[in-house]
């Protein structure tokens, strides 16, 4: 009898924390999303079904921020994948101090994303920041570029910072993939007379593909959930907001808990779809 | 050919180091540049005069600088709390999930995993209400508990994967000798898992240090605001103080950066454990 209860006892602290701080709030957020509930009108809280969702889907602000989310998603995933593979091939070269290099490569991942945003804000400062100094010094532009004051330029800078933080993980996953390829395959290919590029295209790349898949899905989840970098680079301006910032603004600036909860549920829907792919890609076994 | 390869490697090494370390170096340069020369209309990259006033202000406990030290202390308190609560809770759950047969095991496992991809915003509104109602907005313990809830799935998963690699025979031999289940857990599993405990502690330390979104909403008082929030307030005040913000930024990245470099082996195996099996 004791043996039967033991596993549940061991799980109890975790279930308690998760129940109170995760599962209950997720359910509660859904129930909020079905209500008219503004903190500015505390007397007028009532059930309104899916009206919040309908209003959001009709609002320009939502589609604007969704565009920003998708723009970031595509840019971040594409750039992170390419750079991640390149960095992993670079890190795979056997040299003295490879361990330190690996640790340096991980740094951007390990630091506060908000502070990362601040570091890059100095690089892309609209006055004489680093980028402008270099571009003017090289004679590529005459006057400082305003990096952070137009929508697409700002989003490109946000994407750069997010890519900077996401490449380490991508590179590590790819590196694990690269190192799992049996050495014999390369020797056999060389004996058959394959060139460097051919070896990459026929052996390295296809065998790394499942690992790249894991990296891509994880990066997508990151890209949809970008928040800190946007705030660091543009404050809470409307221009650079993605859906998460929109959800934050709706809830905590406009104090519309009902609508804010509904926006959150829409983000969660997108994240959950990506999440299912992520979990699937993790459970896939790699075979040779 | 060999010469060409070597040059190619050195060039890519320099590009790599420039891209990774560039922002830190530039921010450091800003932090030691006098305010008047900061964005002067010149293409010179380095300032003519160097000043450490910004760092002095932070460490001498000046009014604004002192906030940064408070932020660091708050972050450290949160790190300590998350580790003390998180590590034992995760180990017990991971042990149950990886070594015991019971009804609902798969359900609990999957429920845990699915929360890994849920954005913070999905839980924060009810939590905010809860924190307001119970007057917890100046309470580091409860704030840290919310952090823990967001790491539990990943860390539990990491640990249960690791426990699965410890030979069952070790435990079975101890049972035969009359050791109870919990006894074997403490005497055999715990000592054998120090690498994963260290990895988990590192990941939790870094994640807690890096928190921004959760404390933005749940930490409104001086007693709880972590370092990233303090830095953000320097950035949004009416007169942005670039030098001080840059210095604060550099100080905020030093603890995680040094920790990551020292414990790189454990950090990397922890990062990979969650992503790639075996």
Q: Mutating which of A122, A164, A253, A267 best tests the B interface, going by the most B Cβ atoms within 10 A?
A: A122
DSSP 8-state symbol, B54: H
Q: Tell me, letter by letter, the H, E, C secondary structure of B32-45.
A: CCCHHHCCCCCCCC
A184 near B CB under 8 A: no
In angstroms, how far is the first alpha carbon of chain A from the final one?
46
- Listed in sequence order, the residues at least 6 apart from B42 whose beta carbon sits closer than 8 Å to its beta carbon are A128, A133
Q: Which residue has the tokens 């605001």?
A: B225
DSSP 8-state symbol, B117: G
Partnered with residue B69 across adjacent β-strands are: none
The confidence band for B238, taking pLDDT boundaries of 50, 70 and 90, is low
Domain count, chain B: 1
Q: Which of B146, B273, B133 is nearest to B208 (CA)?
A: B146
**Any idea what the CATH number is for the domain that residue B261 is in?**
1.10.3720.10
Q: What is the pLDDT of residues B140-160, one digit of tens each?
A: 999 999 999 988 988 998 898
Q: What ipTM goes with this model?
A: 0.90
Is residue B52 a part of any domain in this protein?
no
CB B214 within 8 A of CB B120: yes
Distance CA B262, CA B252 (A): 17
Q: What is the pLDDT of residues B178-196, one digit of tens each?
A: 878 888 888 888 888 999 9
pLDDT of residue B189: 87
| A217 membership: H or E segment, kind and range | helix A205-224
Partnered with residue A256 across adjacent β-strands are: A38
Spell out which residues of chain A touch residue B30, defining contact as CB-CB under 8 Å: 122
DSSP 8-state symbol, B138: T
Longest dimension (CA), chain A: 80
Distance CA B93, CA B155 (A): 10
Is residue B8 a part of any domain in this protein?
no
The confidence band for A186, taking pLDDT boundaries of 50, 70 and 90, is confident
- Please say whether the dihedral angle defined by the alpha carbons of residues B14, B16, B19 and B20, taken in this order, is positive or negative: negative
Instruction: Determine, for residues B149 and A18 on separate chains, whether the beta-carbon distance falls below 8 Å.
Output: yes
CB A75 within 8 A of CB A69: no
The domain made up of A60-283 has a fold known as MetI-like fold (1.10.3720)
Is residue B149 a part of any domain in this protein?
yes
Average pLDDT, chain A: 88
CB B156 within 8 A of CB B90: yes
Distance CA A114, CA A120 (A): 10
CA dihedral in degrees (A162, A167, A173, A178; nearest 10)? 160
Phi and psi at B152, nearest 5°, equal: -45, -50
Among candidates A25, A99, A176 on the partner chain, residue whose Cβ is nearest the Cβ of B126: A25
Instruction: Determine, for residues A271 and B118 on separate chains, whether the beta-carbon distance falls below 8 Å.
Output: yes
Distance CA A154, CA A120 (A): 12
- Could you tell me where the DSSP H helices lie in chain B? 2-31, 53-59, 63-99, 105-114, 121-133, 140-163, 168-176, 181-184, 190-192, 194-209, 213-218, 227-236, 242-262, 264-275
Q: What is the pLDDT of residues B60-83, one digit of tens each?
A: 867 777 888 889 999 999 999 999
Full-model pTM? 0.90
| A126 membership: H or E segment, kind and range | none
Quote the domain boundaries for residue B165: 75-227+256-275
Report the number of secondary-structure helices (H) and strands (E) in chain B.
14, 0
**The token pair that represents B270 in the structure block:** 């922890």
The confidence band for B46, taking pLDDT boundaries of 50, 70 and 90, is confident
Q: HSE (CB half, 13 Å, CA atoms) of A212?
A: 20
Q: What is the pLDDT of residues B10-38, one digit of tens each?
A: 999 999 999 999 999 999 998 898 877 77
Instruction: Determine, for residues B228 and A173 on separate chains, whether the beta-carbon distance falls below 8 Å.
Output: no
Mapping DSSP to helix (H, G, I), strand (E, B) and coil, where does residue A38 land? strand
Is residue B14 a part of any domain in this protein?
no
Q: Mutating which of B40, B115, B123 best tests the A interface, going by the most A Cβ atoms within 10 A?
A: B123
Q: What is the pLDDT of residues B100-143, one digit of tens each?
A: 888 888 888 888 888 877 888 889 999 999 999 998 888 899 99
Spell out which residues of chain B touch residue A225, defining contact as CB-CB under 8 Å: 119-120
CB B122 within 8 A of CB A265: yes
Q: Mutating which of A7, A169, A181, A263 best tests the B interface, going by the most B Cβ atoms within 10 A?
A: A7
Q: How far, CA to CA in Å, does B6 sit from each of A89, A95, B213, B235? A: 15, 11, 45, 44
CB B248 within 8 A of CB A146: no
Partnered with residue A35 across adjacent β-strands are: A47
Q: HSE (CB half, 13 Å, CA atoms) of B24?
A: 17
């Amino acid at each position: 009898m004791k043996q039967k209860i033991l596993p549940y006892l061991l799980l109890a602290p975790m279930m308690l924390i998760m129940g109170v701080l995760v599962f209950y709030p997720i359910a509660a957020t859904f129930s909020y999303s079905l209500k008219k509930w503004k903190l500015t009108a505390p007397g007028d809280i009532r059930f309104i079904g899916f009206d919040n969702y309908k209003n959001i889907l009709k609002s320009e602000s939502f589609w604007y921020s969704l565009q920003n989310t998708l723009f970031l998603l595509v840019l971040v995933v594409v750039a992170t994948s390419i750079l991640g593979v390149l960095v992993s091939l670079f890190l795979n070269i056997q040299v003295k101090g490879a361990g330190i290099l690996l640790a340096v490569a991980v740094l951007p991942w390990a630091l506060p994303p908000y502070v990362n945003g601040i570091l890059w804000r100095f690089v892309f400062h609209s006055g004489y920041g680093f980028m402008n100094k270099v571009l003017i010094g090289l004679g590529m532009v005459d006057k400082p570029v305003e990096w952070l004051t137009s929508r697409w330029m700002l989003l490109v800078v946000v994407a750069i910072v997010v890519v900077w933080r996401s490449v380490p993980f991508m590179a590590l996953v790819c590196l694990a993939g690269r190192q799992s390829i049996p050495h014999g395959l390369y020797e056999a290919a060389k004996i058959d007379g394959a060139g460097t590029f051919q070896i990459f295209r026929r052996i390295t790349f296809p065998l790394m593909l499942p690992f790249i898949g894991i990296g891509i899905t994880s990066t997508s989840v990151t890209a949809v959930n970008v928040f800190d970098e946007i705030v660091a680079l543009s404050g809470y301006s409307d221009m650079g907001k993605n859906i998460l910032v929109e959800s934050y603004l709706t809830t905590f600036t406009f104090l519309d808990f009902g609508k804010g909860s509904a926006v959150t549920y829409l983000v969660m829907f997108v994240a959950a779809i990506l999440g299912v792919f992520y979990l699937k890609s993790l459970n896939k076994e790699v075979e040779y | 050919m060999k010469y060409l390869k070597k040059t190619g490697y050195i060039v890519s090494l320099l590009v790599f180091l420039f891209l990774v370390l560039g922002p830190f170096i530039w921010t450091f340069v800003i932090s030691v540049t006098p305010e008047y020369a900061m964005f002067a209309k010149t293409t010179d990259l380095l300032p003519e005069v160097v000043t450490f006033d910004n760092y002095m202000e932070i460490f001498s406990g000046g009014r604004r600088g002192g906030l940064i030290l408070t932020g660091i202390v708050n972050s450290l308190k949160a790190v300590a709390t998350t580790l003390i609560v998180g590590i034992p809770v995760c180990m017990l759950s991971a042990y149950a999930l990886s070594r015991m047969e019971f009804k609902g095991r798969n359900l609990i496992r999957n429920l845990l995993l699915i929360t890994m991809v849920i954005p913070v915003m999905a839980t924060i509104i009810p939590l905010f209400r809860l924190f307001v109602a119970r007057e917890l907005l100046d309470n580091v313990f409860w704030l840290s508990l919310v952090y823990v809830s967001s790491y539990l799935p990943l860390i539990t998963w990491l640990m249960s994967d690791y426990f699965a690699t410890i030979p069952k025979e070790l435990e079975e031999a101890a049972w035969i000798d009359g050791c109870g289940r919990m006894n074997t857990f403490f005497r055999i599993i715990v000592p054998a898992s120090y690498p994963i405990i260290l990895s988990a502690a590192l990941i939790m330390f870094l994640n807690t240090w890096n928190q921004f979104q959760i404390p933005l909403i749940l930490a409104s008082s001086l007693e709880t605001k972590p370092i990233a929030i303090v830095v953000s307030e320097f950035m949004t005040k009416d007169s942005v103080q670039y030098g001080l913000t840059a210095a604060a930024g550099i100080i905020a990245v030093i603890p995680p950066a040094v920790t990551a470099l020292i414990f790189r082996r454990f950090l990397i195996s922890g990062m990979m454990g969650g992503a790639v099996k075996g």
